[in-house]
Amino acid sequence: MENIPKNIGDYKLPVDYTKLNGKERKKVRNQYVRLQYNKCMYCGGDLSIDPPTRITDLLIDWSYFPPGFLNNPIQLQHDHSNGMTEGAVHAYCNAVLWQYLRR
**Strand-pair partners of 40:** none
Q: What is the CATH number of the domain that holds 64?
A: 3.40.1800
Residues 44 and 51 sit within 8 Å (Cβ to Cβ): no
Query: Is the entire prediction scored with pTM above 0.85?
Result: yes
pLDDT at 10: 81
Per-residue pLDDT tens over the stretch 28-70:
999 999 999 999 999 999 999 999 999 999 999 999 999 999 9
**In this structure, is residue 59 part of a structural domain?**
yes
**In this structure, is residue 41 part of a structural domain?**
yes
**Cα separations (Å) of 49 from 97, 98, 103?**
18, 21, 23
Higher pLDDT, 103 or 63: 63
Per-residue pLDDT tens over the stretch 61-92:
999 999 999 999 999 999 989 999 999 999 99
**In this structure, is residue 4 part of a structural domain?**
no
Higher pLDDT, 5 or 97: 97
Alpha carbons 89 and 43: distance in angstroms, whole number: 8
Q: Which domain holds residue 68?
A: 17-101
**In this structure, is residue 33 part of a structural domain?**
yes
The 8-class DSSP code of residue 49 comes to S
